[in-house]
Amino acid sequence: MTWFRSLTALLLVSSLTLSAAADPASLVAWAKGRVQSGLLQKLKAQDGERSKFSRGAQPPRERRARVVSADLSRDAKGRGFLLYEVDVRYGDTWETQLRGCVYEKTGNLFVSVGEEYRPVAFLFGEDVAAVPGVCEAQPPANES
């Protein structure tokens, strides 16, 4: 009976993944949720650890994630990703603070640092190297 539950759960997760990939709106919602949980919540927790009396810049009043395009881009290895931006608000105006991408199959998050893309762990003090080729959209192959 346990194997039947496992099989049912596997089929359910597979169908949800396939339907998310087929529907651009749900893919965008998934990507925003992934950025929210994998980046914005961690940034908020990091901001909460900072003293209000610190001489460093105060954290923004609000952050939001935006998916730049609902169209799935592909890198040189054929992996699908969506570009996102994180906007911050200190007063009344919003400005873009971070740019990056989230990969469709793995949910891996990368952030732009100069001309390179690094895993988001970089923002939290981990010494991670830039990953060549990620978040770089390749032109679609010409079909002849």
In a domain, 12, yes or no: no
pLDDT at 22: 56
pLDDT at 49: 84
In a domain, 69, yes or no: yes
In a domain, 2, yes or no: no
In a domain, 119, yes or no: yes
For 95, the domain range is 24-48+60-139
Q: How many domains does the chain have?
A: 1
In a domain, 4, yes or no: no
64-68: long-range pairs with CB below 8 Å, 24+: 64/40, 64/89, 64/94, 65/32, 65/35, 65/36, 65/39, 65/40, 66/32, 67/28, 67/31, 67/32, 67/35
In a domain, 88, yes or no: yes
pLDDT at 16: 42
Averages of pLDDT over runs of 10 residues in the chain (144 residues) are 42 42 84 96 89 82 94 94 96 95 96 96 95 91 60
In a domain, 70, yes or no: yes
pLDDT at 142: 66
pLDDT at 4: 40
